[in-house]
Copies of this chain bind each other. A is one copy, B any other.
């Protein structure tokens, strides 16, 4: 299994609410939108975020509880290039219908972050991390700072 993630799919009880937030609120362009089922957005070089109606997603995975202990939480991160942009993007996401869970503040990793929940409760971290950068070929640099 190669070291590669192609899709991240989030189950949502209310697909229309997800569309309103991501497409109408944030202004994102769908890659593929299937009525009453799923909407996909390209969110990076070769990477797709899907919002999948929860009942159809559960049917795809099959019956039965998840194996092993339940995960302790998931955060999607969106990085910005200025510390001040963290608060700005949190405000924009809130205006789009999100709920700010943690306002912009100094983070343990040495930069600034804050968190906003989408309408289904999925958390986005908005972060400015001087220890992170991406080279033109896609190679990520990630170093502890502070």
Identify the A interface with B (CB < 8 A).
Answer: 1-13, 26, 28-29, 31-32, 34, 40-49, 54, 57-62, 64, 66-79, 89, 92-93, 96, 99, 101-102, 107-108, 113, 115, 117-123, 125-126, 132, 134, 137-140, 142-144
Contact = CB atoms under 8 A, between A and B. Distances in A.
A43 B96 contact: no
A92 B58 CA distance: 24
A45 B42 contact: no
Given A29-B3, A46-B140, A9 B79 contact: no
B48 A120 contact: no
Nearest to A107: B60
A9 B74 CA distance: 6
A142 B31 contact: yes
A47 B48 contact: no
Contacts of A40: 142
The CB with the most chain B CB atoms within 10 A, among A42, A64, A93, is that of: A42
Closest 9 CB pairs of A and B: A45-B138, A54-B72, A11-B72, A7-B77, A45-B45, A11-B73, A67-B99, A68-B121, A67-B117
